[in-house]
Structure 1
Amino acid sequence: MIKPRQKTPNLSINLVNGTEWTLSKQHPEAFTLLIVYRGLHCPVCKKYLEELQTKLSKFNDLGVNVIAISSDTEAKAKQTYKDWAIADIPLGYEFPIEEAREWGLFISKGIKQEPDTFIEPGLFVIRPNKELYCASLQTMPFARPGLDDVINAIKFILHKDYPARGEA
């Protein structure tokens, strides 16, 4: 598991728009916000990412670059992008389960209409130097941080120059 103030693993992932996103090539003013979602099968993820779409400009105004990724296949990710109201969110796919484990994310075995295995939600706030500032990891689709709470936390962090915690 990555602790705050430690370098994150590098991450390169294909996006539904045909480009590749690489964490080491990101240069946000304040932070990168990496959101891991369960995939197309998850109605809670749909609601969360559609809410994110409505708040994307608030994150951008704070100097935060946002990306959402899952272990879904390219076809499922493109269907997600088409069916969900998330037109401005960079959407990555085929995040390897092994790499997800390096990030400390939880993995589930599918039930009913779910994929055989998939990654449970996570939210990572990463400094421009690729150090982890904070993370929130879930074992199921519920109990994610509210996006307004994340926005307000980032405002506080930037205003007070509040250090990352949880590193000991």
Structure 2
Amino acid sequence: MTIETGDKAPDFSLIADNGKPFKLSSKLKGNALLVFYPGDGLPVCKQQLCDYRDGFSKFTDLGVDVIAISSDDSDYIKTFKKENNLPFTLLSDKEGEVAKMYDSFGWFGVKRSVFLVDKNFEIKYKHIESVSIYSRSVEELTEMVKRKA
């Protein structure tokens, strides 16, 4: 099954960087940017998430929560978050089950992708990178949010 804009976003529960369960339907209060990325130790992933860290106030000013999801375990994402001073939630999708629900899992694991989900669970935007060395910038995403939200 392919997920498209306009579809209802699948709900899920994963372990967060604080070691506690994170259920999307319990945490979603407004718009959320679900950011799937291949792994915490990879240079492009670090660059992408640090870019989102540096532009975090632009997201919050637009009422958007950033939620980043990788297949790394919860201990590793906790360390990665602390080392890079990331102000948003990181989730562990160790088995790739949530990535699969969001068409963000391929031959090499989690694909780099971004989804904008509104408070009604409608997917307002979807972008899956064809090549994982690229990522959407803060500027691209905030302009998209202004158009879609």
Please, what TM-score do these two structures have when normalized by structure 1? Answer: 0.79
* Structure 2 counterpart SS, 1:21: strand
Identity of aligned residues (%): 28
Superposition pairs of residues 69-148 of structure 1, within 5 angstroms: 69-86=69-86, 88-109=87-108, 118-148=109-139
Matched, 1:5 2:6: yes
Output the aligned Cα RMSD. 1.7
Q: Which residue of 2 is the match for residue 163 of structure 1?
A: none
Q: How many residues align?
A: 148
| 8 Å CA contact 2:19, 2:74 repeated in 1 | no
* Structure 1 counterpart SS, 2:53: helix
Q: Which residue of 1 is the match for residue 58 of structure 2?
A: 58
Cα distance, 1:101–1:2 mapped onto 2, change above 3 Å = same
Report deviation, 1:126: 0.5
| 8 Å CA contact 2:125, 2:148 repeated in 1 | no
**What is the letter of the counterpart of residue 36 of structure 1?**
F
Structure with the greater alpha carbon radius of gyration: 1
**What is the letter of the counterpart of residue 147 of structure 1?**
V
Report deviation, 1:2: 0.8
4+ aligned runs moved over 6 Å, structure 1: none
Measured against aligned partners, the alpha-carbon deviations of 1:57-116 in whole angstroms (never above 9, x if no partner) come to 111111111111111112321231232231x1111113532332221113233xxxxxxx
Matched, 1:32 2:23: no
Distance 2:41 2:23 in 1: 26
**What is the letter of the counterpart of residue 136 of structure 2?**
P
Matched, 1:149 2:140: yes
Report deviation, 1:139: 4.0
**Gap runs ≥5 in structure 2:** none
Please, what TM-score do these two structures have when normalized by structure 2? Answer: 0.88
Report deviation, 1:26: 3.0
